[in-house]
Amino acid sequence: MTQQLIQAAPEVIRQGLVDTGTQQRLERFLALEAALMDNHEYDRWMALWHGDDVLYWVPCNSDDQDPSTGIAIIYDDRSRLLERMMRLKDKTAHAYRPLAKLVRSMSGIVPVAVEGNEIEVVATFVLGETRVGVQNIWMGRTIHRLVDTDDGLRIRSKKVLLLNNDDAMPNLTFLV
């Protein structure tokens, strides 16, 4: 499924799936989300999510691994996501201190499906992280399912496909 979405992206662009204004809104929204994550603004980032039925998923070993039968780096619904935010904000959680310095670049932002008020968007990213003298570069793709609400775009689900998701992973002390 993931590979099909990515391969379909050029055709979607040719079809003009969204107008220029919507494309700009998508790009600005993903840039805002990236900035909030990079700056550890967890409450503002959580406010970007829509409803109670949300999913934040970072697969392990395979982009389409079934999370009910395999492992995932992250597989959070709203309540687990809120718990993750509490841990990230906890100043006494030494495993998360000091905070990582982060900067990410989003590109190739392509809407691949529109269903009613929901838009599925594929994008690529490069994320630089430095923490306690160690620098890492993370790369991959995101698949967002966004809901267009009266308050603007909101995230229903986010799947992060790390390029190296089949390698040993350190403890992620930040949002990807």
Per CATH, the number for 2-162 is 3.10.450.50
Q: What is the mean pLDDT of residues 107-130?
A: 96
Could you tell me which of 140, 146, 155 has the C-alpha nearest to residue 120? 146
> What's the rounded Cα separation, in Å, for the pair 29 and 103?
16
Decide if 129 contacts 135 (C-beta within 8 A).
Answer: yes
Write down the domain spans for the chain: 2-162
pLDDT tens-digit readout, 126-146: 999 998 898 999 999 999 999
pLDDT tens-digit readout, 149-165: 999 999 999 999 999 98
**Tell me, what's the pLDDT at 173?**
76
